[in-house]
A = this chain, B = another copy of it.
Amino acid sequence: MAAAVVVVIFTVQQERLSVLLIERAADPGRGEWALPGGVLREGESLDGAAARKLADETGVSEVFLEQLYTFDRLGEGRAEVVVTYFALVDVAQVRLRTDLEWRPAWHPARGLPPLAFENERVLRYAEERLRSKLEYTNVVYSLLPAQFTLTEMQRVYEAILGEPMDKRNFRRRVVGLGIVRETGQTLKRGAHRPARQYEFISRAPMTL
């Protein structure tokens, strides 16, 4: 009866918010999907355990990772308490594990398979917190590459919030509030006018 750590790993892919899930190859919960997690090791810190799980599954570190909530007695799980975290990753940086037994895969946050251990509760809570953090922090930095266009950034916001935003208001806000700045470079893609590239002023979480 030790403590367990579970990590909700979000990304935005094809204009959809997605979550990393693992198909369980053993009981309990065989054949269902679950959030990545595991037991806290002897002498390990909570933040350390969460970062380890995240790195195990995605290969990334140095991304936004924050404690979410602590649950007790989640479903059939054997842990006394489950400390949950949530992380935001740029899908382009991720290399998923390719084990035969415990397959990780991205799933759109809308339209999930059956989940083990009442992970739906955890996910709902994480999604709510993510949406609210978008509004008053710069956490989106962790979902985008070093350089990007404002349109790409806006698509990420829209995927998470689930509604279209006004282009002019969006731009005024993110540059005006000091979240991003121009790099001076531009990017040409397809039959379009070249787009200015932007970068985050800070790649650490900050409250606006």
Give this chain's copy count: 2
The proximity string for A residues 1-27 relative to B, scoring 1 for CB distances below 8 Å and 0 otherwise, is: 111000000000000000000000000
Q: Which of B1, B46, B47 contacts A2 (CB 8 A)?
A: B1
Answer yes or no: A83 CB below 8 A from chain B CBs. Answer: yes
Stretch from A29-37, A64-72, A143-151, A169-177 at the B interface: A64-72
Q: Nearest chain-B residue to A48 (Cβ)?
A: B72
Shortest Cβ gap from A4 to chain B (Å): 10
The answer for the CA separation of A70 and B3 in the assembled complex, in Å, is 11
Specify which chain B residues have a CB less than 8 angstroms from the CB of A185 in the assembled complex.
none
Q: Which of B1, B2, B46, B80 contacts A70 (CB 8 A)?
A: B46
Specify which chain B residues have a CB less than 8 angstroms from the CB of A83 in the assembled complex.
70, 81
Answer yes or no: A95 CB below 8 A from chain B CBs. Answer: no
The answer for the CA separation of A45 and B73 in the assembled complex, in Å, is 8
In A81-121, the 8 Å CB interface with B consists of: 81, 83
The answer for the CA separation of A3 and B83 in the assembled complex, in Å, is 11
The answer for the CA separation of A46 and B47 in the assembled complex, in Å, is 20
Shortest Cβ gap from A76 to chain B (Å): 15
Answer yes or no: A40 CB below 8 A from chain B CBs. Answer: yes
Interface residues of A (CB under 8 A from B): 1-3, 40, 45-47, 67, 69-73, 80-81, 83
18 chain-A/chain-B pairs, Cβ below 8 angstroms: A3-B80, A40-B72, A40-B80, A40-B81, A45-B72, A45-B73, A46-B70, A46-B71, A46-B72, A46-B81, A47-B72, A67-B69, A67-B70, A70-B70, A70-B81, A70-B83, A81-B81, A81-B83
